Every structure is written in C-alpha cells, then in structure tokens.
Chain A
Amino acid sequence: GESVGLHLPTLSVQEGDNSIINCAYSNSASDYFIWYKQESGKGPQFIIDIRSNMDKRQGQRVTVLLNKTVKHLSLQIAATQPGDSAVYFCAENQAGTALIFGKGTTLSVSS
C-alpha cells in the first residue's frame, strides 16, 4: 500500500533556531496532508494541515510547505522552544480514505 515516510528519525536543534522536519509521500493521489505533534505519554495533537491545491500554509510559528512535483512535505518551526520537543508525524489522505501516518521524527530542543 501507499506510505508516508520521514527523512530523518531524529533532529536536534538549539533553542531559538528554526527547525525543518521533512516528509516524503508516495501517493500522488493524496489531496490532504496534516502534521501532528506528540508529546511523551500523550496522544497526537493537530498542528497544521494543507490541501493539495496549496503550496504553503502558515500558522503560529509554523509553516507547512508542499511540493507536489517531488512529493515532499515539510514543517518549519520558527524560533524553536524547549516546549516544541516532541515526535512529529506527517499524515496523508485521499478523499474517502483514512489518514496514513508516517513513522515520525523526534525533535529535541536544547537550551
């Protein structure tokens, strides 16, 4: 079946730096993408989403970029804080199907 993958399982950054978490997807028919954040011992929490008719979407301190040509999705976190330390998952969806999650990237932020 189709799958969503992340380029790196771990990412370490310094507090105040910008973080970029990448995700590659294989299903060109996917039309909706979501980023989730999962803190230790908790369930995933929605961060931001983007539809396939968009290239970029911004939230508070976060930006998601979608490159459909190379089937690549990225999450940018500005001015990373210790509270951003978590596992980040991308997920893809085709209309009428359930979300498919990637394996996750662990972001560690040091002070």
Chain B
Amino acid sequence: NAGVTQTPKFRVLKTGQSMTLLCAQDMNHEYMYWYRQDPGMGLRLIHYSVGEGTTAKGEVPDGYNVSRLKKQNFLLGLESAAPSQTSVYFCASSYSLADYEQYFGPGTRLTVT
C-alpha cells in the first residue's frame, strides 16, 4: 500500500513552459486535492475533486487546470508557467470531504525561472 505518490519530485521550468504533475492514490479515496505551499503561507488549496470526472476550484485556482479521469489519479497542469508558481506542490486524498483526515503525498518542488 503506497498511499499517495507524486511525480516528479523536482522540476525546473522556464517561464511559459507547460507541465503536468501526477498524483496517484491506492486507498480507493473519492476525494483528492492539490495544494501549494509557500514559505510562511501554509497550505493553500488549488483545486480538488469529489470523484472521478469532477473537479472544483479551491482558494488559488488561477493558472492551473486539473483532471480526474480515473479515480486513483489526479493531474495538475500548468499551461504557461510563471515565476509566481514556484512552490512546493502537495497532493492529498481522503475518504470524505469533511470529517476525515487527508493523506498527503511527499510533494513536488517546482522552480520557474
């Protein structure tokens, strides 16, 4: 049982490039989330999904897109990377939206130059 995994672990992009971060979970959770973590800012929710084929915006969705084609995977896309998107990105999953703990992946450190 691997829990929540993220690929890649590190990435450096040039401004304007695109990329996709992959999150996978093997716990059969319905809910999945993407957060970004910046120094002194805590975790901020980008997008989340309440089930296969559904997504919703979080606190800071601009500049990102997501897809949930399979229950176990949640993809985060950056179409045109900007230096302001330099951050550590965490994926999480949970059994339910409320009242249940979220399980986090190890994170992806993204630098946009």
Contacts and interface: CB of A to CB of B under 8 A. Distances in A.
Interface of A: 1, 9, 31-32, 34, 41-46, 49, 51, 89, 93-104
B97 A34 contact: no
B62 interface: no
B2 interface: no
Nearest to B103: A46
24 contacts: A1-B59, A31-B99, A32-B99, A41-B107, A43-B92, A43-B104, A43-B105, A43-B106, A43-B107, A44-B90, A45-B104, A46-B101, A46-B103, A89-B42, A93-B99, A96-B97, A98-B33, A98-B45, A98-B48, A99-B45, A100-B59, A101-B43, A102-B42, A103-B42
Interface string B37-64: 0001111110010000000001100000
A93 B100 CA distance: 10
Nearest to A90: B42
A34 B92 CA distance: 14
A14 to B, nearest CB: 26
A9 B106 contact: no
B50 to A, nearest CB: 10
Contacts of A98: 33, 45, 48, 58, 97
Given A43-B104, A93-B98, 15 more contacts: A31-B98, A34-B101, A41-B106, A41-B107, A44-B43, A44-B104, A46-B101, A89-B43, A93-B99, A95-B98, A97-B98, A98-B45, A98-B97, A99-B102, A102-B42
Given A9-B40, A89-B43, A96 B98 contact: yes
Interface residues on B, range: 20 to 34
A89 B105 CA distance: 16
A3 B106 CA distance: 25
B98 A32 contact: yes
B16 to A, nearest CB: 29
Contact of B42 (A31, A51, A104): A104
A46 B102 CA distance: 7
A104 B42 CA distance: 6
Nearest to B104: A43
